Structure 1
C-alpha cells in the first residue's frame, strides 16, 4: 500500500527565522525543504568580530546541511529564489521549481543606502560574511599601504569613518579602535598609530536610540575612552575619495568609510506582486500570513508586523508561531494571534564594556559586558563554535592579540571564468 504524501513546507532563508522554523517542525507530520542561496547559517551578531580579526568565519557561520542533519523530515537546497507561482503553489528558483503546500519566506534584510549613490559606491558594508571578509582584508591592506607611504602622506590611510550609531556601528567602532591601538601597533612599529582616528557618525542626537538615554550616554562615554570620536546630529551627504561631506556643511577626512546605518527588507517581497510597506517589508495578518493566501507565511525582517525591529529575536519567535500554526492547521484547530515578547537588547562597546536593557533592568560597563558575553556564547549554534569563540575571546583578552590577521582572497572558480 502506497504511503500518502505528507504536506510539504518550503522555507526560503536559512537565517535565524528559517533555521528555527525547520527545527520547530521536526515533530510535525510534514516534509520540510530549506532553501538558501548560501550553504551556511550566519550568526550575524558577531560578524563585526570577523571584520576586526578576532573571529574566524567558521566561528560565526555553520554549514546548513550539518545543522539540519538531525532533522529527519528536513532537506536543504542550495538555490536562489527567482519567483513564486501562488496559483500552482510552486517556488521558482535558479535550480528549478519546488512544489509546496506551505511556503514560508524568511529571507532577511539587505543594506539600505537611502538613495545615496556615493555612499553605496565608496563605502564598505558589514551585513553579510563576504562583506565582513572584504572589510577585514581592506583594514589589514590599508595598514600595509601606510607602512610604505611617506610619513606626511599616511594620515588618510589611518582615518576611518563609521556611519551609523546603532548596535553594529557602536560595536564595530569600538572593536576597530581596539584592534588598532592594542594589536596593530605591535605589528606596525614604524607607524605612529596614536595619529589613527576612528570617527562614529550618527544622524540623530544620541547613539543606540533604541536603548534608554542613560545607556546611550554610557556607550558614548565608553567609546570616547577608547579614542573614538563621535559626531551626533549630522548625516553624510556625499562621499569623495578620502573625504566625507556632512549635512552641517563640514567635511571629514577618511580613507575608509564603513556603512552600518540602515537596512531594508530583501527584494524577495517584490516577487510576490503585493503592495509593500515601509522598508520594503511585506504586510501580513496576525498569524504572519499573506492576506488571502493562508498557505504563505512571511517572517523576520521581511515581515511588516507591528513594526517589529529587524533583529534575530522577532524572527525566531515568529518562526515558532508559524510552526504551531501549521501544526494546528493540520489538526483543524486554530491558535491565538502572534504576540512578540521582548527579551531585551544589548550591545558591546569592546573590552570590559557593554550595555544591556532587559525589561526594567539596565546594565552597563563590566557587568553589562559579562552578560553580553554569556548571552552571545549561549546562542552560538554549535558547541565547537562556542568553544573556539571562547578561546579566541580569552586569548585576545589576556594577550591583546587578534588571531586572524591574514589577508586571504579567493580565486575565481573554473565555472566563473
Structure 2
C-alpha cells in the first residue's frame, strides 16, 4: 500500500509543494508514495493580479501539469483535520462528505481578507481577494456607465492604503476612464489610518507612491478610518461623508481557519509557527506553507510575508521536506534572504525595490516592464512537461536572483 502525502490547497504554496514532493520522489526512484492535492479547482488563481481588469482570465489550469508529474488531484473543499486520526474530511465535487487518510500532510490553504466588523462592509463593499470577488467588482464598474451621471457614480473609495489598496487605487483611474470617457471627472479616494502616504512601505517607496498618486489624481484621506459603509458611500471616523457608489475593502488578510484545527502556536494573522524545515512545531506529520506558515526567512529576524514571492519558495521547500521525511533522506532548510518589492502604480508605472528596507532600484516604465514580466511570466506554473516541471520545483532555485 502506498504512503500518502496530502497537500491541501492549489495556490502558489500548494502547487509548488506537490511538484517539489513529486520531484524528490522521482529522484529517489520510489513508486510507493502517492502525492495528492485537495482543492476546489485544479487551477492556480493568480491572486496578485486581481486588482487588474479581466479577472476571469487570471487562472492557470493545473490538471495536465499534475498528470504529467504523477500528482493525483482531488476536487473538493477541506473542512476538518483530525490530527490524531491523520484524516482530512472534505466535501467532494458532488457535495458528499469524504475522508482522506494521510501519512504526511502539507497545509497550504492560503489566506483570505480578514473579516471586518465595520457596519455595512459585508453588504455594500467590494474586494479583490478572490477571483469571484474581482469578477463581481469588474461587472459592477462596467454597470456604472448605465447610471445617471453623479459624483457618487464617478467616485470610488478604497479602504486601506497597503500594498493591495495602492495597486487597486492607482489602476482605477485608467479602468474608470475606459468605462466612462477619457475626460470623465473621476475620483479615486484612498482612506488610510496612517499619517503619511505609503508609510508602511518605507520612506523611499513612499515618494514614488505620492508622485504616482498626484499624477493619476488619486486622493488620500489620512489619519482616519471608515466608520460605516452604506449603499451611497462611506462615513469616516472624523465625521466626513463621502458619496460613492463603489467602496473597495482592502484592509488586512488572515490565514485560513483550517490552521485552528492543528494544535500549535499561531501568530496574530493565524499563521502556524514552523521550524526550519517548515514542519509545524509540535507536530510530527504536518507541514505548513505559503500564507499559513510563520517562517523565518533568514537569521536576522525577518519572516515570510503573505506574498507569492515567499509562497513559491515556501512551497518548494515544504514539498521537498515532507517527502524527505517520508523517504528518510535529508531535508533542505528553508532560507530566503533576498526580499524584493515590485509595486504597480497604474499608468504612472511601477516601483521596484530590493531589501527589507526597500531601496528603490527601478521606477516608472522600467519598473512597469519588470512588473509586467513578473505578473505574466514568473509567477505562472511551469509548462506541463514532466522533466522541466520537476526541475523547476528544486527548492534551491531562488525566486528572485
In which range does the TM-score fall when normalised by the shorter chain? 0.7 to 0.9
Q: Provide the rounded CA distance (Å) in 1 between the counterparts of 2:215 and 2:348.
A: 12
**Aligned with 2:69: secondary structure?**
coil
The 1:10/1:175 distance shift into structure 2, 3 A limit, reads same
Note if 1:224 corresponds to 2:214.
yes
The 1:311/1:361 distance shift into structure 2, 3 A limit, reads same
Larger RCO: 1 or 2 (CA < 8 Å, sep 6+): 2
Residue number in structure 1 paired with 2:48: 45
Q: Provide the rounded CA distance (Å) in 2 between the counterparts of 1:12 and 1:358.
A: 32
The 1:378/1:162 distance shift into structure 2, 3 A limit, reads same
Unaligned runs of 5+ in 1: 385-417
Residue number in structure 2 paired with 1:373: 372
Residue number in structure 2 paired with 1:400: none
Contact 1:16 1:315 in 2 (8 A): yes
Unaligned runs of 5+ in 2: 93-97, 297-302, 384-401
Contact 1:356 1:363 in 2 (8 A): yes
Q: CA deviation at 1:184?
A: 2.3
Q: CA deviation at 1:270?
A: 2.2
Residue number in structure 1 paired with 2:317: 321
Q: CA deviation at 1:258?
A: 0.2
**Aligned with 1:26: secondary structure?**
helix
Contact 2:106 2:319 in 1 (8 A): no
Note if 1:270 corresponds to 2:267.
no
Residue number in structure 2 paired with 1:353: 349
TM-score normalized with structure 2 length: 0.83
For 1:119, which of 118, 121, 124 is the aligned residue?
Answer: 121
Q: CA deviation at 1:383?
A: 8.6
Q: Provide the rounded CA distance (Å) in 2 between the counterparts of 1:295 and 1:358.
A: 36
Contact 1:143 1:158 in 2 (8 A): no
TM-score normalized with structure 1 length: 0.80
For 1:13, which of 9, 16, 19 is the aligned residue?
Answer: 9
Note if 1:303 corresponds to 2:293.
yes
Residue number in structure 1 paired with 2:392: none
The 1:241/1:34 distance shift into structure 2, 3 A limit, reads same
Q: Provide the rounded CA distance (Å) in 1 between the counterparts of 2:238 and 2:41.
A: 41
Encode CA deviations 1:363-387: one digit per residue, 9 max, x unaligned.
Answer: 2222211221222222252699xxx
Residue number in structure 2 paired with 1:64: 62
How big is the alpha-carbon RMSD for the aligned residues of Structure 1 and Structure 2?
2.3
Note if 1:251 corresponds to 2:241.
yes
For 1:131, which of 130, 133, 138 is the aligned residue?
Answer: 133
Write the mapping of 1:89-238 to structure 2, written as runs, cut at 5 A.
Answer: 89-95=86-92, 96-145=98-147, 149=148, 151=149, 154-181=150-177, 183-186=178-181, 193-194=184-185, 196-238=186-228
Q: Provide the rounded CA distance (Å) in 2 between the counterparts of 1:216 and 1:259.
A: 21
Q: Provide the rounded CA distance (Å) in 2 between the counterparts of 1:332 and 1:78.
A: 30
Encode CA deviations 1:304-344: one digit per residue, 9 max, x unaligned.
Answer: 23443111122221222223323432453444643233330
Contact 1:211 1:357 in 2 (8 A): no
Contact 1:215 1:364 in 2 (8 A): no
Which is worse superposed, 337-346 or 40-49? 337-346
Q: Provide the rounded CA distance (Å) in 2 between the counterparts of 1:319 and 1:225.
A: 39
Q: CA deviation at 1:291?
A: 2.8
Contact 2:317 2:332 in 1 (8 A): no
Matched pairs, number: 362
Residue number in structure 1 paired with 2:335: 339
Residue number in structure 2 paired with 1:86: 83
